[in-house]
Copies of this chain bind each other. A is one copy, B any other.
Amino acid sequence: MTNNGALSGLVVLDLTRVLAGPYCTMLFADMGANIIKIEEPEKGDDTRQYAPIYNGESVYFININRNKRGITLNLKNDKAKALFLDMVKKADIVVENYRPGTMEKLGLGYEQLKEVNPGIIYASISGFGHTGRYKDRPGYDIIAQAMSGLMSTTGWPGGEPTRTGTALSDVLGGLSAAIGILSAVYHRRENGVGQKIDVALVDATVSALEIINMIYLVEGRIPRRIGNRYEANYPYDTFHAMDGVVVIGAANEKLWKLLCEAMERSDLSEDPRFDNVRNRVAHHEILKEIVEEWTKTKKVEWLVETLLAKGVPAAPIYDIAQVVNDPHISKDREMFVELEHPVAGQLRVTGNHIKFSGTPTSVRTPSPLLGQHNEEVFSQWMGLSKARIEELRASGAI
């Protein structure tokens, strides 16, 4: 498949492992950037061992490393370091998610890299960031979900603090690093000077908590776990139906009135307890009872169809099979796409979710085997001779 992506031409040296960094560079790869994934010889990215496994290969790894080329470099080896610095001279972007200080210890921190290429844009993703008193703490997604306040506000009154069902802080960190990098690329057009972007998983998740932080900042009230409702709006919640659970989001005056009509309860839209959004939030308990009196006598499918016909946002709660088999999500929006992997074989991965009219994203190549593109990158791109590559291999540099 040809690469007509928006970022074709950008060269990224990708030192990232696990999820946050690879998710960031996956987005770039899908948009056509030239991603050179650099892994430790023999061992490689930790996620090469992670479930789920398919025909002996990790599809955790395959999914988020498609469209990248893979090389190996032992960055503790001096020959590998020198080669890496030569690569930095020809690259636009370096991305890494090592623990802060690791690259500096290797002599490959931003201060070192910008000496060989002042235009380089260097992005770090870490648990707590490269500054501040916790910078040396190790950070994974679950650590950031815990310390950002997200887990304390997800779940049910009286229940346990709850981790979101996906590695959300990693994804937020990866998306945020992508924004920082692309903004620095934009800025660089003026004077050719790069910079360092420092994204912490904790910070990215704190930012995502938007209104939740604001409640404490202005009211002094600590937001707690409140189930599925939202602090800013009501009725905007899950409601029990005859055969399951339905989501209704009547998030403004017009939608509230339409919901009252759908329930054949026009009296409610005149009720002073519910006459504006703040009053509906204040009376959410009784309002939930009222809406559930109606939903409990109906089936989810009927409720969703009836409410959508009225123009009221409503949805079933899909399990993953329903998501994957939904024709809108899977087919119309191309959120699951075919990929042929040299070892795992034919499988489907998650498609790119950013849809461009002029420069469509694409899944063109499978994730690399460990060191698969050593020859290609070192000889074709870096101009090393076969003998030189062999020497690097023999010395343990690659």
| A358 touches B (CB below 8 Å) | yes
Q: A176 an interface residue at 8 Å Cβ cutoff?
A: yes
- Whether A212 contacts B165 in the complex (CB less than 8 A), given A110-B357, A228-B160, comes out as yes
In contact, B196 and A166 (Cβ under 8 angstroms): no
Question: What's the number of copies of this chain in the assembled complex?
Answer: 2
Give chain A's interface secondary structure class.
mixed
A199-224 contacts to B (CB < 8 Å): 199-200, 202-204, 206-219, 222-224
Interface assignment of A108: CB less than 8 Å from any CB of chain B:
no
Are A317 and B152 touching (Cβ within 8 A)? yes
Asked if A322 lies at the interface with its beta carbon under 8 angstroms from chain B, I say yes
A370 at the interface (CB under 8 A from B): no
B154 touches A316 (CB 8 A): no
Bound: A182/B180 CA distance, A: 10
| A residues 216-243 in Cβ contact with B at 8 Å | 216-219, 222-233, 236-238
B176–A353 touching, CB < 8 Å: yes
Contact-residue bracket for chain A:
35 or more
* Inter-chain contacts of A398 with B (CB < 8 A): none
B127, B134, B219, B328: the one contacting A134 at CB < 8 Å is B328
| B residues near A63, Cβ cutoff 8 Å | 210-211, 213-214
Is the Cβ of A162 less than 8 Å from the Cβ of B171?
no
Q: Which residue from B18, B59, B145, B196 sits with its C-beta under 8 Å from A217?
A: B59
A172 interfacial contact with B, CB 8 Å: yes
Query: A349 at interface (Cβ–Cβ under 8 A)?
Result: yes
| A162-B228, A199-B353, A232-B50 known; A209+B320 contact, CB < 8 A | yes
A276 vs B48: C-alpha distance when bound (angstroms): 12
Q: How far is the CA of A327 from the CA of B165 in the complex (A)?
A: 29
Q: How far is the CA of A72 from the CA of B214 in the complex (A)?
A: 26
A6-B187 in contact given A333-B200, A333-B203 (Cβ < 8 Å): yes
With CB as the reference atom, state the residue of chain B lying closest to A335.
B206
Interface flags, A1-39, vs B, CB<8A=1, else 0: 000001100100000001100010001000100000000
| B350/A207 in contact, CB under 8 A | yes
CB <8 Å contact, A149 and B251: no
With a cutoff of 8 Å between Cβ atoms, the chain B residues found around residue A272 in the complex are none
**Contact between B354 and A197, CB atoms less than 8 A apart:** yes
Say yes or no for A53: interface residue by CB 8 A criterion.
yes
Partner pick for A186 among B139, B155, B185, CB 8 A cutoff:
B185
**Complex contact A335–B149 (CB within 8 A):** no
B-chain residues with CB within 8 Å of residue A313 when the two chains form the complex: 127, 137-140, 143
Could you tell me the distance between the alpha carbons of A134 and B231 in the complex, rounded to whole angstroms?
Answer: 28
A324 to B216, CA, bound (A): 8
Q: Assess the B7–A183 pair: CB atoms within 8 A.
A: yes
Query: 8 other contacts beyond A52-B214, A185-B186, A194-B358, with CB at 8 A cut-off?
Result: A138-B312, A142-B236, A149-B320, A149-B323, A166-B208, A182-B182, A197-B354, A214-B349
14 contacts between A and B (CB under 8 A): A52-B231, A59-B217, A134-B328, A152-B320, A153-B320, A155-B162, A160-B227, A161-B317, A171-B208, A176-B354, A196-B357, A198-B355, A202-B333, A207-B353
